[in-house]
Amino acid sequence: MSLSRRQKRSILLWLDCLCAVLALGIAVVLVTGHLPDAATLRKMIPLGAAILPVAACMTVYLGLHRVKLNAYQLPSLLSSSAIGAAIGFAAFTAGGISHATLPLGVFPVLSMVFMILTVGSRLLLRSLLIWIYRRKQVRKRVLIYGAGQTGQQLAAALATDTEIVPVAFVDDNPTLQSLTIGGLVVYAQQLIPELVARHKIDRVVLAMPSVSRSVQQRIATRLRAMGCEVHALPSFADLVGKDELIRQIEPMELSDLLGRTGLEHELPGISDAYAGRNILVTGAGGSIGSEICRQLLSARPASLILLDHSEPSLYAISRELQDGGTPIPITPVLGSVCEAGLIRHVLATHRVDVVLHAAAYKHVPMVEANVIEGMRNNVLGTKTLADEARAAQVERFILISTDKAVRPVGVMGCSKRLAEMIVQDLATRSSSTAFSIVRFGNVLGSSGSVIPLFQDQIARGGPVTLTHDDVTRYFMTLSEAVRLVLLAGTFTRGGDVFVLDMGAPVPIRKVAQQMIEAAGYTVRDARNPRGDIEIVVTGLRPGEKLHEELLIGSDMLTTPHPKILRAQEGHLSELQMASVLQSLRRAIDTRDLEALSNLNRRWVENAHRAGVVSAST
């Protein structure tokens, strides 16, 4: 049965009073050398009557009865010493008043014995309670790498933990090896495999914050090769004295890749524009689509409809959202945006108010190798979805695009630019649906991003492949990208192209070097032939540009947020768009790759030079 806080304090208070009485008896025995007779006991009565209230009052005054057993440390020891001195003085005073002729040595011994009893009883109680808590628990066994100040602080913090037990220290400093610090032996790092096997170590904690991150990563890589789970710990002073903890323990600073600080905290929250709305998210199982669904939940929509043609991806995101305990209805729909009948049924059945269109093939080599399906899904799928949304009088339609749509040189970029043109064309002829486009660069960690590719290559020991030494890309975080998409839906007036101020483009070679070093390796090149991982240049792939752009024109308008801009861009006329779509359908139906190439070259790749209606028209 667990005790209340008041009961625990009462027990500790009575414990100190009992220790005071016992200390008096033990002091008399120690000083006189024999058990007290009846006369001595009579002399002790007034002394005991004096020290009991003093012990109780001093314990309450110093708050010693409120100190948890696990927190009984040096300040509490000093408090116990003060109480011991007080009861010794009280006994001496009471003896003088009552003319109890006890040896003077009894009184200092009384103080010392009281301190021993009260400290010892608390330590005994703490050990007993820890044993009770631990008896039925399986505790994780931890090896601490680093016997310096941080390691010692960690070991002290874990000494009374009921779930984790520190087993030993490991340190590269020979002067510390074989010493015992805080009850733990310090071993050399060469003995780690033996320690892991002998003590059944569950994880290793790197407690060496002064060592550079690359060195820590190198040690972690070696430990993981032994089958150890590895964690890193910043110094305890840093935890409360510098930046927030999450920024200190990230495996790699995002600002190193972005060339700027993240904008998550600079972008406002999602407004009430989505509250109470029925929202359809296409491509809901993808990295962008799934994050859109997660962030939309905080906007309190009436319902979320998730559309994706990948069964595993759709199942994963729908289960994740439903298992989160949200009261918002989640409806997964398995199918393609190219199926007009399905789209029409979904929009009507769920009375969709907002469409967020994230469904697209986006892997450049895959689309280049499957031109027909890439154009069918990205262009005709967007046309089908947008037409049905307009017919159903959906309130808002937001197309998620890419910087590859700006002056494209490959099929994927052309398909996304054509999708943009479709939305721009419909925006000029729609009175009930507000169409808009959101365009951004590479999203860190998303499917197809260079970051996961580099991580896999580094994990395999390299080489890291780079298409060109001078290639650059814009980067943003997943949360930034999704927040931009959702904010665009609140800013749109119809036909808008929104872009984010993403800073300067980032050299991909720099990204590769930083990731290699952050993983604890060195780059092998002409200057460092003994390095760990080589960066190999493979050449630009079909459909890939050296530098991406975010804007077709130079005219920009502001929005309610300074980091989000509205592009002023031209588009095809209604007749031109109809001609393009007719030619596109014919080429897809006949699988005429040459006709598709000619269409892209005429209407997309060269559209910025001729045949495009100005944005002001």
Instruction: List pLDDT tens digits, range 247-279.
Output: 333 444 444 555 554 555 444 556 677 889 999
Is there a single domain that holds both residue 123 and residue 11?
yes
Rounded percentage of the chain residues whose pLDDT exceeds 70: 81
Please give the Cα distance from 424 to 254 (Å, whole number).
Answer: 34
In this predicted structure, the answer to whether residue 415 has a pLDDT above a threshold of 60 is yes
Burial 493-521 (b: 16+ CB within 10 A, else e): ebbbbbbbebeebbbbbebbbbbbbbbbb
Final residue belonging to a domain, choices 118, 134, 150: 134
Is there a single domain that holds both residue 149 and residue 128?
no
Final residue belonging to a domain, choices 93, 114, 134: 134
Confidence of residue 617 (pLDDT cuts 50, 70, 90): very low
Is residue 346 in some structural domain?
Answer: yes
Instruction: List pLDDT tens digits, range 534-574.
Output: 899 888 776 566 766 555 555 666 666 776 778 777 778 88
Is there a single domain that holds both residue 40 and residue 177?
no
Final residue belonging to a domain, choices 115, 134, 153: 134
Is residue 612 in some structural domain?
Answer: no
Is residue 582 in some structural domain?
Answer: yes
Average pLDDT value over all residues in the chain = 80
Cβ(353)–Cβ(278) below 8 Å? yes
Is residue 263 in some structural domain?
Answer: no
In this predicted structure, the answer to whether residue 236 has a pLDDT above a threshold of 50 is yes
What was the pLDDT predicted at 445?
61
For residue 608, count CB atoms less than 10 angstroms from its CB and return exposed for 0-12, middle for 13-18, buried for 19 or more.
middle
What was the pLDDT predicted at 362?
85
Please give the Cα distance from 509 to 500 (Å, whole number).
Answer: 24
In this predicted structure, the answer to whether residue 89 has a pLDDT above a threshold of 50 is yes
Is residue 148 in some structural domain?
Answer: yes
> Is the model more confident about 245 or about 212?
212
Is there a single domain that holds both residue 331 and residue 461?
yes
Please give the Cα distance from 500 to 569 (Å, whole number).
Answer: 16
Residue ranges in 226-325 assigned as alpha helix (H): 236-241, 245-249, 254-258, 287-297, 311-323
Is residue 91 in some structural domain?
Answer: yes
Cβ(220)–Cβ(211) below 8 Å? no
Is residue 429 in some structural domain?
Answer: yes
What was the pLDDT predicted at 384?
97
Please give the Cα distance from 113 to 542 (Å, whole number).
Answer: 86
Instruction: List pLDDT tens digits, range 13-52.
Output: 788 788 888 888 888 888 887 887 787 777 777 787 878 8
Residues spanned by the domain of 34: 5-134
CATH of residue 173: 3.40.50.720
- For CA atoms 410, 416, 419, 421, the dihedral sign is negative
Window from 176-185, 247-256, 589-598 with minimum mean pLDDT = 247-256
Is residue 560 in some structural domain?
Answer: yes
Confidence of residue 339 (pLDDT cuts 50, 70, 90): very high
Is there a single domain that holds both residue 95 and residue 148?
no
Instruction: List pLDDT tens digits, range 290-329.
Output: 989 988 888 889 999 999 999 999 999 999 888 877 889 9
Is there a single domain that holds both residue 471 and residue 594?
yes
| Tokens at 144, concatenated | 């601490």
Catalytic positions, please?
404
Please give the Cα distance from 313 to 289 (Å, whole number).
Answer: 10
What length does the chain have? 617
> Is the model more confident about 212 or about 530?
530
Is there a single domain that holds both residue 398 and residue 466?
yes
Placement of tokens 């509490």 in the chain? 76
What was the pLDDT predicted at 134?
58
Is there a single domain that holds both residue 188 and residue 124?
no
Please give the Cα distance from 287 to 317 (Å, whole number).
Answer: 10
Is there a single domain that holds both residue 531 and residue 383?
yes
Is there a single domain that holds both residue 306 and residue 407?
yes
Is there a single domain that holds both residue 127 and residue 149?
no
Please give the Cα distance from 512 to 588 (Å, whole number).
Answer: 39
Placement of tokens 């790197």 in the chain? 206
What was the pLDDT predicted at 395?
92
Window from 18-27, 224-233, 254-263, 501-510 with minimum mean pLDDT = 254-263
Is there a single domain that holds both residue 227 and residue 114?
no
Domain count, the chain: 3
Instruction: List pLDDT tens digits, range 101-141.
Output: 778 788 888 888 888 888 777 778 777 776 666 565 667 78
